[in-house]
Amino acid sequence: MRPTRPCCHTCLVRCLLVDDNGAFIETARLLLAREGVVVAGTASSIAEALRQASALRPDVVLVDIALGDENGFDLARRLAGGDTGADLAVIMISTRAGADYADMVADSPAAGFLAKDELSAVAIQRILGRA
C-alpha cells in the first residue's frame, strides 16, 4: 500500500491522463494545472498507459472509458491489478453521464467516475476520499 499524503483541496495530485482525444487531453491538462493537479503524463492506448504508469507512479490515473478501439475498463483492471508494479487509483472518465456506466464502474476496480465536463481537482479529491 502506498503512503498517503496529507491533502486539502489545493494540494498537488500527480495524475496520468489516458484518452485518445488529443484536444481533450490538452484542455484537461490546462484546467487541472490551474487547479493544482500535475498531469505527469498522458497516453492514448493501454500499452502506452501501462508504460507511463510504471515509469511515473502517479497518484491517480484518469482513464477514458471509450479509449479508441480499446476498452478503458480493461486498462483499469490491469492498473489496479498491479500490471505496473503498483496498485494505482483509477478514475473512469467519459463524455457520457455516469448513470450510463454506473453498473460497469461499480463492478470495476475504479475508485469512481467523472463526466468529462465535471473534471476538476475538487472532484478528483472527493473520489479519492481526500476532500
Successive 10-residue mean pLDDT values, the chain, 131 residues: 41 88 95 94 96 93 94 92 76 88 89 95 91 54
- pTM of this prediction exceeds 0.85: yes
CB 108 within 8 A of CB 81: no
DSSP string spanning 80-107?
Answer: HTTTTSS--EEEEEESS-GGGTHHHHHT
